[in-house]
Amino acid sequence: MNKLTVEQRVQKAHVALMNDPKYCLFSGIFMIGKVEIRDDVPTACTNGRDVLYGRKFVNKLSDSELRGLILHEAKHKAFRHLTIWKHLYKQDARRANMACDYVINLQIHDSDPEGKFVKLPDGGCFDERFRGMDAGTVFKLLENKSGGRGGDQGDGESGGGFDEHNWDGADEMTEVERETLANDVDQALRQGAILAGRMKGNVPREITDALTPKVDWRQALRDFVTSHCAERDESTWRRPARRWIDQDVYMPSSISDALGRIVVGIDMSGSIGTNEIGQFLGELRAICDSVKPDGIDILYWDTEVCRHEPYERDHIDSILQSTKPAGGGGTDPQCIPDYIKAKGIKAECAVVLTDGHVWQWGEGWPVPVLWGITTENITAPVGKSVTIQ
């Protein structure tokens, strides 16, 4: 029997993962970008779209380790690590690489603890201390400590582990390429979730969180702010346009550029299930990506605000990796305006995501409120309502 080439082994490993109920979810992710086998690549490398595998490195791996390596690179793409955590890379490239790897490797290990089908190659960043954490939290914990098993290994910017992250290559993509990649990832995960359901596989929460949003929040919030903030016209000096500040040029911003801090209230009452939570988090991500406010205060609520997560503008891209929904009781939106006033939150407006099954809609709102409602034919009597279909 002839020995398989590296190219054939990589292809075979992809097919095996796509045919397994646990990992078929990532089938579409495997198909995004190019896959190349290179002699000049020491291990493996991705820019968040394309993946390179080193020929000598792959030759040293068992089949289960090769599947683990391929899944590792796919998760970097699926979770858009090289975009979301770009600000960490600029602070410390080595720690940023390690932080992302710790999060991914725990997930891979948990999917097959005995390593019979998928196994992490030796030297990977792995530490139980970081279980349940996002890359941003791990990054902070690594500041003054080595990262545990595998944490002190690596070469230069690869920062430990068994792969490299091409942050510069990710940054070289055009805006159109980045938007296309984000859309491709969304579509691949959505189709993968359907496939996993058919194959009786599980879809982890981190994937359901990434559901494609249904509302054009940039336009919705622009229209909303325009109609509720009379002092604003098509341009305002209230906040200088951000894109010119770095050049010491101060110009008035447009309404969409001038959006300051916003409150996003997410319904976590007993009538909200897993699908609704995933849908709300998808809309939250759309708000972050398209509107880019100065800051966001996330309020998870039922009859009270169960959790308050404030995010400044520089950390908004990491919300889906770090947010922790809380709640599960009754339903009373009155807790949101009461909380905003009690905590002195200075916001331009509030966006409340709910199924609309409430007995009253709150009074004395200190800011304009925009409701995103998943149930058709329900309109709030206060503020403005849009339907999330």
Q: Is residue 1 part of a domain?
A: no
According to the model, what pLDDT value does residue 249 have? Answer: 46
Single out the residue in 202, 231, 258 at which a domain terminates. 202
Same domain, 110 and 165: yes
According to the model, what pLDDT value does residue 146 have?
46
Read off the pLDDT of each residue in 79-99 and give the average, rounded to a whole number. 87
Amino acid 244: pLDDT:
43
Contact 208, 193 (CB under 8 A): yes
Q: Answer yes or no: is pLDDT of 173 > 50.
A: yes
Q: What is the CA radius of gyration of the chain?
A: 23
Q: What is the DSSP letter of 384?
A: E
Q: Are residues 261 and 315 in the same domain?
A: yes
Q: Which of 67-81, 187-201, 262-276, 374-388 has the highest mean pLDDT?
A: 67-81
CA nearest neighbour of 137 among 179, 85, 208: 85
- Indicate if 180 and 324 belong to the same structural domain: no
In this prediction, residue 297 has a pLDDT band, given cuts at 50, 70 and 90, of very high
Whether the predicted pLDDT of 292 surpasses 90: no
- Residue 318 lies inside a defined structural domain of this protein: yes
What's the average model confidence in pLDDT over 232-245? 46
Residue 336 CA, chain-centre distance (Å), reads 25
Provide the pLDDT for residue 152: 37
Are residues 118 and 245 both part of a single domain?
Answer: no
pLDDT the model gives residue 228: 57
Among 202, 232, 250, the domain boundary falls at 202
Q: Is a pLDDT exceeding 60 seen at residue 339?
A: yes
User: Domain residues for 271?
Assistant: 217-387
User: 241 and 377 share a domain?
Assistant: yes
**Average pLDDT value for residue range 321-348:** 90
Phi, psi of 296 (to 5 degrees): -135, 135
In a domain, 319, yes or no: yes
Residue 172 within a domain: yes
Sign of CA dihedral 379, 380, 384, 386: negative
Say what the pLDDT of residue 145 is. Answer: 57
Q: Averaged over 71-83, what is the pLDDT?
A: 91
Could you tell me the end-to-end alpha-carbon distance of the chain, in angstroms, rounded to an integer? Answer: 55
Tokens coding 360: 């009253």
Mean pLDDT across the chain: 81
Within this chain, do residues 175 and 271 fall inside the same structural domain, yes or no?
no
**Number of structural domains, the chain?**
2
Q: What is the pLDDT of residue 251?
A: 46
224/180 same-domain check:
no
Residue 248: pLDDT band by 50, 70, 90 thresholds?
A: low
> Average pLDDT in the 273-279 region?
71
Lowest pLDDT segment from 87-101, 169-183, 194-208 = 194-208
Q: Based on the fold, state whether residues 169 and 120 are members of the same structural domain.
A: yes
Does some domain include residue 357?
yes
Please report the pLDDT score of residue 55 as a whole number. Answer: 97
| 342 sits in which H/E element | helix 335-343
For residues 291 and 176, state if they share a domain: no
pLDDT at 149: 39
Alpha helices in 20-112 (DSSP H): 27-31, 55-59, 63-78, 81-84, 86-91, 93-111
Give the integer Cα–Cα distance in Å for 206 and 325.
12
Q: What is the DSSP string of 218-270?
A: HHHHHHHHHHH-TT--SEEEEEE-HHHHTTT---EEETTTT--EEEEEEE-ST
Q: Which of 176, 202, 228 is the last residue of a domain?
A: 202
Q: Best-predicted range by mean pLDDT among 148-157, 200-209, 317-326, 358-367? A: 358-367
Query: Does residue 34 register a pLDDT over 80?
Result: yes
Task: Name, in order, each residue with C-beta under 8 angstroms of 284's C-beta and a sequence gap of 6 or more.
Answer: 264, 266, 298, 319, 320, 323, 353
Inside any domain, residue 209: no
Q: Band of the pLDDT at 159, cuts 50, 70, 90?
A: very low
Q: Tell me which residue of 257, 284, 285, 269 sits closest to 356, measured CA to CA.
A: 269
How many other CB atoms are there within 10 angstroms of residue 347's CB atom?
A: 20
Residue 212 lies in a domain: no
- If asked whether residues 167 and 223 sit together in one domain, one would say no
Q: Is the predicted pLDDT of residue 58 greater than 80, yes or no?
A: yes
Which CATH number belongs to the domain containing residue 374 in this structure?
A: 3.40.50
- The three-state secondary structure class of 262 is strand
Answer yes or no: do 20 and 55 share one domain. Answer: yes
> Both 366 and 255 in a single domain?
yes
Convert the pLDDT of each residue in 99-155 to its tens digit.
Answer: 999 999 999 999 999 999 999 999 899 999 998 777 878 888 887 554 443 433 333
| Structural contact between residues 66 and 98, judged by C-beta atoms closer than 8 angstroms | no
Rounded mean pLDDT, 43-64: 96
pLDDT at 120: 95
For position 144, what pLDDT does the model report?
58
Instruction: Name, of 237-246, 270-279, 311-320, 378-387, the range with top average pLDDT.
Output: 378-387
C-alpha distances in angstroms, 328 versus 92, 272, 321, 337? 39, 8, 21, 19
pTM given for the model: 0.56
Q: What's the pLDDT score for residue 375?
A: 85
122 secondary structure, DSSP code:
T
Average pLDDT estimate for 175-182: 83
In a domain, 111, yes or no: yes
Residue 213 has pLDDT above 60, yes or no: no
If residue 144 lies in a helix (H) or strand (E), which one and from where to where? none
